[in-house]
Amino acid sequence: MTDNELVIAAKNGDKKAFRDIVHKFQGRIASTVIGMLGKTAEAEDVGQETFIRFYKSMENFRGEANIGTYLTRIAINLSLNEIKKRKRIFSLFSNYQEEETLNSVNSLSKDEGEEDKKMVQQAILQLKPDYRSVVVLRLIDGYSSQETADILKIPLGTVLSRLARAQKKLKNVLIKQMGVEYAE
Amino acid sequence: MQNRARILLYESFDRELNDSEHKELEQNLVVNDELRREQQDLQKLREKIKNAKTPSFNPFFVEQTMDKLFSSVTQSRAFNWFDSLFSSFWRVGVAAAAACLILVVLNLKNVSINQNTQQVSTNNESLEEMFEQVSLQMVEDEL
């Protein structure tokens, strides 16, 4: 079954078809959401909410856009909302950013145990949400710059400038962490 | 000039440079060691980010999502039922409340009219009594 056939079947009440959609796209959504929020409980919730929102708005889905892109747009918007929510809740604590980063990176290291990955993830989580979203979409998810601009609904020039700034910041952070490799 | 070269360097990873831009960047890379080093750093960085595969959701993600989805759909259906019930009957409710209010006002008016009538009728009785008393007295006087 093609993606559009799955959506049509799901629209007609076929639960199995919708289950197949969730199964097929969970990896991509995990990459986006965990890239934005770290491997936290909220990331799982946002992942689930992404598919629930998609299910509820399926009637409006005309099949012009790719399902993966459509789902990624929902996921990135929900992730940005979650970051705003976290910021509001934890704004009283001055060390919010560090705590958030440490918690998510610790859980990552437990799961994966790869030092490099931990470092890169930690560096990405230190970026401001606007910069983090372009890095996740362009460099982790592998969308083109134009697709990234379309998903975030920002001009291509903004994507390019944010990418450049984000990479400079990431380079600086990683130089501090993995100094030798970059200094050589 | 160097700043433009750096911008071109960064953009070369994310968009197709045109011929003149490409040539300009190449020329700068030949003469500028720092820019060349930066290009290598960027390549390494992007490789690291690309290879930092993010972990997946928990193994029961699909089942949990389906459970959550269909419980939320059921809830929203129940909510919608109450919603549609409310939207269908709110006018009837308002009309009934208005009717009750009118009935109460009318009843209160009737009560006050009845009270006035009772008062008048009480006065009438006393006049009749007076008339009776007068007529009795006249009869007594005649006798």
pLDDT band at B123 (very low <50, low <70, confident <90, very high): low
Q: How far apart are CA A38 and CA A47, in angstroms?
A: 12
| Ranges A166-180, B71-85, B110-124, most confident | A166-180
Q: How close A34 gets to chain B, by Cα (Å)?
A: 7
A139 touches chain B (CB under 8 A): yes
| Interface predicted TM-score (ipTM) over 0.90 | no
DSSP A87-115: HHHHTT-TTHHHHHHHHHHHHHHHHH--H
**Domain span at residue A21?**
3-183
* pLDDT at residue A61, rounded to an integer: 82
Instruction: Kindly state the tokens that stand for B21.
Output: 């831009």
Q: Tell me the pLDDT of chain B averaged across its residues.
A: 82
Query: Can you give the CATH number for the domain in which A8 is found?
Result: 1.10.1740.10
* pLDDT at residue A131, rounded to an integer: 96
Q: What is the mean pLDDT of residues B59-84?
A: 78
The residues, ordered by sequence, that sit 6+ positions from A22 with a Cβ below 8 Å of its Cβ are A51, B61, B62, B65, B66
Q: How far apart are CA A121 and CA A103, in angstroms?
A: 12
Q: How close B106 gets to chain A, by Cα (Å)?
A: 51
Q: How far apart are CA A168 and CA B137, in angstroms?
A: 124
Helices (H), chain A: 3-11, 15-37, 41-56, 67-90, 96-112, 115-125, 129-134, 145-152, 156-183
pTM above threshold 0.80: no
Give the residue among A131, A65, A174 at the shortest CA–CA distance from B52: A174
Number of domains in chain A: 1
Q: Which member of B15, B56, B58 has the closest CB to residue A160?
A: B15
Contact yes or no for A34 and B55 at CB 8 A:
yes
Weakest mean pLDDT among A82-86, A180-184, B72-76, B102-106:
A180-184
Question: What is the per-residue pLDDT across A24-50, written as a single tens digit (0 to 9) for each?
Answer: 999 999 999 999 999 888 999 999 999
